[in-house]
């Protein structure tokens, strides 16, 4: 079975998952964090080389402060408790997104996590926090303008936060919505899309297997016949 080399996941539906259970939204984010760790490990165990997780968009930063504080506590917990495990499993961590939008201690923890896992060769975990594709593209355009000459596609791609990372083969969005919500707009030009009605905390490792199986049955033509 053809395995996607790079899987990207829009982890949506934490809030609705919690609401349905009469729990605070923060409980949904907590469960989501557990799922995120398990799903990414499962993907690497299957042999997937790159996993990108959309955890916080630039636009999410306008949510109420109380919700953001809860999310930031979870990120703190994630970086404090999981770096050793990534290291042990040979997974390199890479943050995509604008770290200056995050609380300074989280920016520092994430950088430390990247440094400590830099030698990981089994796979790369890209965590998108404070990420927005339009923001990323605009920064690249502005850098190109400063360079003062026209660029090739490869030169332009090298100005993006995903420099050196192959484009996603499979993009999964949980939580029922069918949209990209400002995620990897350049990189997903020929990505296979898979939408699940399940809320992210309910999306199991077996659901990921099903998405991969579905991907394996697709024919990627890239505009050719």
| 205 in active site | no
Q: Which of residues 49-68 bind ligand IPE (CB under 6 A)?
A: 54-57, 60
Query: Cβ 14 to ligand IPE, closest distance in Å?
Result: 4
| 60 in active site | yes
Walk across the sheet containing 91-96 and list its strands.
91-96, 123-131, 50-57, 6-10, 170-173, 192-195
Distance (Å, whole) CA 49 – CA 7: 8
Q: Which of 111, 5, 7 is nearest to 53 (CA)?
A: 7
Pick one of 13, 70, 97, 123: the residue that binds ligand IPE (CB under 6 A): 13
**Catalytic annotation, pick one of 12, 98, 167, 169:** 12
Binding mask 1-30 for Mg ion (x = CB under 5 A): -----------x------------------
The token pair at 192 is 């296979």
Q: Which does 14 bind (CB under 5 to 8 A by kind): Mg ion, ligand IPE, none?
A: ligand IPE
154: buried, middle or exposed (CB in 10 Å: 19+, 13-18, 0-12)?
A: exposed
181 binds ligand IPE (CB under 6 A): yes
User: Which residues form the catalytic set?
Assistant: 12, 60
């Amino acid at each position: 079975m053809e395995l996607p080399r790079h899987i990207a996941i829009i982890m949506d539906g934490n809030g609705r998952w919690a609401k349905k259970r009469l729990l605070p939204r923060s409980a949904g984010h907590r469960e989501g964090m557990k799922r995120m760790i398990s799903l990414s490990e499962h993907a690497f165990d299957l042999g997937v080389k790159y996993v990108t997780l959309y955890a916080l968009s630039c636009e999410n930063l306008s949510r109420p402060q109380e919700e953001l504080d809860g999310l930031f506590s979870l990120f703190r917990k994630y970086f404090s408790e999981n770096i050793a495990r990534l290291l042990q499993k040979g997974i390199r961590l890479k943050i995509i997104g604008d770290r200056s939008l995050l609380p300074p201690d989280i920016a520092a923890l994430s950088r430390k996590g990247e440094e400590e896992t830099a030698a990981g060769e089994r796979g790369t975990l890209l965590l998108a926090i404070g990420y927005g594709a339009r923001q990323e593209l605009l920064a690249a355009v502005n850098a190109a303008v400063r360079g003062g000459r026209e660029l090739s596609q490869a030169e332009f791609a090298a100005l993006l936060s995903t420099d050196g990372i192959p484009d996603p083969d499979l993009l999964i969005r949980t939580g029922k919505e069918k949209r990209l919500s400002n995620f990897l707009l350049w990189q997903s030009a020929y990505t296979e899309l898979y939408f699940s009605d399940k809320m992210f905390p309910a999306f199991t490792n077996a659901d990921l297997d099903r998405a991969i199986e579905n991907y394996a049955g697709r024919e990627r033509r890239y505009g050719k016949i």
